[in-house]
Structure 1
Amino acid sequence: MTSLQPAHLLPLTGENPSGEAVWTPTASLSWSDLEVRARRLARALNDHGLTPGHRWAVLAHNRIEWPEFLLGNARAGTKLTPLNWHLTARELSELLVDSGATLVVVDEALEEIGRRAARSAGLAAEAVVVLGSPYESWLAEADDDLLPDWDMGSALLYTGGTTGRSKGVTRSDTSGPVSRWYQRGSAWGGQARLPEEGVGLVTTPMYHSLAQGFVAAALTRRHTLSILPRFDPEATLAVIEERAVTATPMVPTQFIRMLKLDEQVRAGHDLSSLRWVLHTAAPCPPWVKRAMIDWFGPVIFELYGSSEGTGPVICSSQEWLEHPGTVGRASTALTLSIVDDEGRDLPPGEIGTIYVKRHDGAPEYHGDPEKTAAGRLPDGRFTVGDLGWLDEEGFLYLADRRVDLIITGGSNVYPAEIEGVLSEHPEVADVAVFGIPDEEFGQQIKAVVEPAPGTNPDPDEILEFARERLAGYKVPRSLDLIDRLPREAHGKLKKRLLRDPYWA
């Protein structure tokens, strides 16, 4: 006889069923309500014809339904494709076609673009469920009876498209029966050093793997969740104080925007409840890291990883202060190595391509065996193209992405170092550095700056600022100002949109 899934996937449901599990500024859910809604969602997906392995998608801003999407998907055994709401209808349609999604749940505010994308992907009108009353009615029609304890569902995550078209990723660490979903979420939290209990806050987009990994880990490690619809520096500080938040994932761009708040605003909030603030998704300039540790205390943790599973590599505040610039050491889930262009392992201190050996197997790119093979070595190690080095103690340091490496006059220049320096300038809100063609040197260094609000920076003055802090060959030859850099809400910069026109 086939066994059934457990009635509860979360530890606090049985201990405190009426306690608050999820909070947003406009609504809240108890632990019991969250579990019931997740069971109903799994049944609704099943009733729609989605059986284990089938795909569906969500196009929605941060809102209270996201935790039930993750739990319901796990119970249904399906593949959830979270869609980036910054994309155009054409881009969304391409992802729907590539993923094979047969159902789309969309935010009311995104209904028009969601329906256009679905139509273009060949989906019928009834394959689109709109959050709000239509979604609630659809959910109410399903019962919450338990399904078989089959392989848990997982996300079909698409890479950020920072170096080209987004690609779906499937990973081997997302398998196992639904009854083990708790252990999987809790294990990631343990590897990332998330405390056992507390109050979590999500301000990064829920379509990103960072937020989803945190939500699963927080719920299984006895955290009440607070979800904000979007990131606002001052509002985030206020919620941390009001909700006594203990844990939150962020990206360096958010750090910078908080650090550039007026000093009185920063000092006006009690942040003493914080125990764990994790940052990832983009390089964090050293001055930002030091300033955040000085402000928040030694609660800053760094995670190096990717949708493909190159992490978690974890670094605490103390480890970073003792090993400045490191992103940490590999968790027990993986082994790191540095490899040269001929596939030979490099000794500590030498820069090369970062390769990862996951003990549960290498990832695959959905529908793209050639790309899967291109990123692998014969022994199963894989790479996403990042460059870096290991020290004698196994701490990893990032140089840059290989595609971003600038070779000018025969010298290797790493844009992340220059971006870190330029971001210190008080009139710089954000910055991108990349190489453009140069007849004499092969490439020259180009900087593009997003000015801080209320400023009108002088490019020559910013370049002089750089000359005082960088070797001459690292100083950009030119600097442009732009209203806003093409950065995803989760912090990744689509540098190719700035660089590619110069190389067309």
Structure 2
Amino acid sequence: MDHCLISGKQRIPLGEFHHRSRQVARGLSEAGISEGDSVALLLRNDVPFLEVTFAAAVLGAYSVPINWHFKQAEIEYILVNCEAKVLVVHADLALKLPASLTTDIQVLVVPTPPEIQAAYTLTSEQCASAVESVGWDTWRNQFTPWDEPPVPARGSMIYTSGTTGSPKGVRRAPASAELQQSIMDQIQLGFGLRPSARALMTGPLYHSAPNAYARAVISLGGDLILMPRFDALDFLDSVERHSVTHTHMVPTMFVRLLNLPPAKRLAANLSSLESVVHGAAPCPPDVKRNMINWWGPIVHEYYGSTEAGLITFVTSSEWLEKKGTVGQPLPNSVVRIYGEEGQILNPGEIGDIFVNLAVGAGFTYHNDEKKRAEIERDGLITNGDRGYLDEDNFLFLCDRKADMVISGGVNIYPAEIEAILIGLEGVSDCAVFGIPDTEYGEALGAAIETHPNANLTEQSVQKFLRENMAGYKVPKLVTFHDHLPREDSGKIFKRRLREIYWDDNRALNS
């Protein structure tokens, strides 16, 4: 069976895909790309995204995906910081390119395909490129495939979200063939993948986990079906139409699926699914339990980071025994919890999570060795998460340290409140965050995305939370929204909600 990469009406056998990627590698080489250089991608989920990613790997260069939601200044920062020599961009996104784009960067424009135009309701006028460029297929097909001896791959240089300060590019050292195999073995365990899987890509490829997942599926010789954008009904249809066996998701997608009318959910044929893995954000226990009840014990979870890769894994059955856990460390992985004074904490004690680089190549932050040094302790690194290990070495997350709210000297973890709040009738999704308070320094604010016709008030929300948790964890401010700001993955842009209050210094009077 000839496995394929599928996007819209495109069905490309993997052999042809790799041929194309090697053609792109030749083209990039002639454009001046060599080992250690950067090729930037401002693309939605599309075949050329993966062609460039695999081509850069062949050359020992870095593919640098850019979140296409970014504004011009944010895009310019990454282009300059990663020192990109080539930028590959979808035609409709070319308008986002900064006016100061230098002539040192060669811009290659990819036509925005029909499936993406439809998913984002783009007009033909919007998809007319603002940059003069030879068409992508024409540019690629003029080159003979790259046939030089392989060099150690470096992978993608993903820029972290930049909770504080500017985003940082995670620049990995070259990986030998032996190390690449070890990484692939770890990925199969942590993502629940197998060779010849038929995998559905639901999230944006500019994110670290979807990017790694997609590359792994192709490298393992499976079928990869790209969704241009996640939609709950389209997801159910795609699983049935393509007999999907594996997929990667985030909790927000579960919520959207569970919000579908019961008749739609009952009519869905999901019998082909073998393994559904999720990560990237905490999953409310009720949501996960409902998904397991619907799909069976095939809903698994991992914990990881852009810097460290995959760290823990938990099956459905393990999670049902230990609700809320993100699992035990994968083979060769080390997880350690440190206290404020740098001491190693006992089981059950909440502290900073530090992990080792189990099988990955070493890394630094591009052009920022100082920040790389700041996250290390005893040879382990942290991404700012806090949590604890239980007696059986299962890891439980509390929150990002950066998201933690300190109100009157008390540490409060928004994720704990969000997990309760999502269970209130009428709440579709929510975000809890710190806002300025004249007396306590910080107070809690909650932004709630409501179901249609929901009858919620600030008082009813606060009453519900008081009945389910300590009073100091109840938000003082509750706002209601038809839609919360989101990334393309569905993840809430909490920073945008929070900065309204801090930028305006709208402190509450306690």
Query: What is the TM-score normalised by the length of structure 2?
Result: 0.89
Q: Cα 1:331–1:46, aligned 2, differ >3 Å: closer, same or farther? A: same
Q: Which shows bigger deviation, 157-166 or 317-326?
A: 157-166
Return closer, same or farther for 1:122/1:454 CA change in 2, 3 Å cut-off: farther
Q: 1:484 to 1:69 in 2, by over 3 A?
A: same
Instruction: Summarize the alignment of residues 110-125 of structure 1 with structure 2, pairs less than 5 Å apart.
Output: 110-113=93-96, 116-117=97-98, 119-123=99-103
Closer/same/farther in 2, CA of residues 182 and 70 from structure 1, 3 Å limit: farther
Q: Name the SS for the 1:334 alignment partner.
A: coil
Match of 2:53 among 40, 52, 70: 70
Asked if 1 retains the 8 angstrom alpha-carbon contact of 2:444 and 2:476, the reply is yes
- 2:455 and 2:238 map into 1 onto residues whose CA distance is 32
Aligned residue number for residue 41 of structure 1: 24
Map of 2:108 onto structure 1: 129
| Change in 2 beyond 3 A, CA 1:491/1:311 | farther
Residue 262, structure 1, aligned to residue 241, structure 2: no
Matched, 1:54 2:37: yes
* Per-residue deviation, 1:300: 0.8
Give the 5 Å matches for 1:102-251: 102-113=85-96, 116-117=97-98, 119-123=99-103, 127-132=106-111, 134-172=135-173, 175-177=175-177, 184-251=183-250
Distance 1:183 1:410, change over 3 A: closer
**Per-residue CA shift, 1:396-452, capped at 9, x if unaligned?**
000111122223344332110111111122322221111223344343221111223
Deviation at 1:75?
A: 0.8
Task: Evaluate the alpha carbon distance shift between residue 184 and residue 143 of structure 1 in structure 2; reply closer, same or farther with a 3 A threshold.
Answer: farther
Matches within 5 A, 1:352-367: 352-360=351-359, 363-367=363-367
Paired residue for 1:370? 370
Q: CA deviation at 1:454?
A: 5.4
CA distance in 2, matches of 1:162, 1:271: 37
The answer to whether the 8 Å contact 1:200/1:224 transfers is yes
Unpaired stretches in structure 1, ≥5 consecutive residues: 1-15
1:5 equivalent in structure 2: none
Q: Is the 8 A contact 1:81 1:156 kept in 2?
A: yes
SS of the residue corresponding to residue 47 of structure 2 reads coil
Cα displacement string for residues 73-130 of structure 1 (whole angstroms, at most 9, x for unaligned residues): 21121111001010111210111000000110111221222xx33x424235x71101
Alignment check: 8 A CA contact 2:252 2:491 kept: no
Q: Which amino acid aligns with 1:280?
A: G
The alpha-carbon deviation at position 483 of structure 1 amounts to 4.1
**Structure 2 SS opposite 1:33:** helix
Cross-structure match for 1:489: 488
- Partner in structure 1 of residue 11 of structure 2: 28
| 3-state SS of paired residue (2:443) | strand
* Preserved contact between residue 350 and residue 390 of structure 1 (Cα < 8 Å): yes
Q: Aligned runs of 1:86-101 on 2, under 5 Å? A: 86-101=69-84
CA distance in 2, matches of 1:400, 1:100: 33
Task: Kindly report the root-mean-square deviation, in angstroms, between the aligned alpha carbons of the 2 structures.
Answer: 2.1
Cα distance in 1, alignment partners of residues 224 and 102 from structure 2:
36
Which residue is equivalent to 1:404? 403
Contact 1:162/1:494 (8 A) holds in 2: no
Cα distance in 2, alignment partners of residues 136 and 454 from structure 1: 49
Deviation, structure 1 residue 234:
0.7
1:53–1:453: structure 2 CA closer, same or farther, 3 Å change rule? farther
Structure 2: give runs of 5+ residues left out of the alignment. Answer: 112-133, 506-510
SS in 2 for 1:404: coil
CA distance in 1, matches of 2:325, 2:63: 33
Contact 1:282–1:491, Cα closer than 8 Å, also in 2: no
Is 1:272 aligned to 2:294, yes or no?
Answer: no
- Say which is worse superposed, 215-224 or 189-198, in terms of deviation: 189-198
Change over 3 Å in CA distance of 1:187–1:418 after alignment to 2:
closer
Q: For residue 390 of structure 1, what is the aligned residue in structure 2?
A: 389
Task: Tell me how far 1:183 sits from its aligned partner.
Answer: 6.2
User: Could you state the TM-score of these two structures normalised by the residue count of structure 1?
Assistant: 0.90
Could you tell me how far apart the structure 1 residues matched to 2:168 and 2:270 are?
Answer: 38
Is 1:415 the counterpart of 2:414? The answer is yes
Q: Shift in Å at residue 223 of structure 1?
A: 1.8
Aligned-residue offset at 1:305 = 1.0
1:275–1:464 Cα change, 3 Å = same
Shift of 1:188: 1.5
What secondary structure is seen at the aligned counterpart in 2 of 1:217?
A: helix
Cα–Cα, structure 1 residues 324 and 383, in superposed 2: closer, same or farther, change >3 Å? same
* In structure 1, distance between residues paired with 2:94 and 2:181: 33
Asked if structure 2 preserves the Cα contact closer than 8 Å seen for 1:189 and 1:218, the reply is no
| 3-state SS in 2 of match to 1:318 | helix
Which amino acid in structure 1 is aligned with residue 142 of structure 2? Answer: E
Question: Which structure 2 residues correspond to residues 256-335 of structure 1 after superposition, within 5 A?
Answer: 256-309=255-308, 311-335=310-334
Give the structure 2 partner of residue 441 of structure 1: 440
